[in-house]
Amino acid sequence: MLPPLWRKATLTVHVASSVGWIGAVGAFLAVALAAGPSGGTFAALEAIGRFALVPLSVAALLTGIVQALGTVWGLVRHYWVLAKLAITLLAAAVLMIYMPTLTELRRMAESPAAQDVSAASPILHASAALAVLLIALGLSVFKPKGPTGLGARRP
């Protein structure tokens, strides 16, 4: 178990990075919705992804694992913790896989021979990410009952 000071410190970083991730996705979605499909729009989206979304997703994932392993909740003792881990891993993986696509959209939009580059992909990805991250937030708040098979066996 983590000592109280470390537990509170990692919890603070976890909450800040998780909520920051949600806020960065909201900003990404707002830019994608409000701006036209120009090179500048995609450059802004790429910057939000590279300098906010990616670092915050990694921080949320790592601090979540530290919190789970260092507290009574455990990593595999409760279904809601496992669900949050799966959601966070999936969302971070999709983000990492999507970043090169975002870079390519920016390059296409900045090209002198640019056709209309649609912002539909960033809007779709950001909308889905926002929904998924809000589900993870809900799991954190409501903590649905039910230990896993491993959690039920512990005294």
**Structure confidence at residue 102 (pLDDT):** 94
Range with lowest mean pLDDT among 15-24, 121-130, 145-154: 145-154
Residue 42 CB-density burial (10 A; 0-12 exposed, 13-18 middle, 19+ buried): buried
Question: 115-124 — which CB contacts under 8 Å span 24+ positions?
Answer: 116/37, 117/37, 117/42, 118/37, 119/32, 119/33, 119/35, 119/36, 119/37, 119/41, 122/28, 122/32, 122/42, 122/45, 123/29, 123/32, 123/33
* pLDDT tens-digit map of 93-118: 999 999 999 999 998 888 887 677 88
Residue 89 has pLDDT above 60, yes or no: yes
Residue 155 has pLDDT above 70, yes or no: no
**Structure confidence at residue 112 (pLDDT):** 80
Per-residue pLDDT averaged across 15-27, rounded?
98
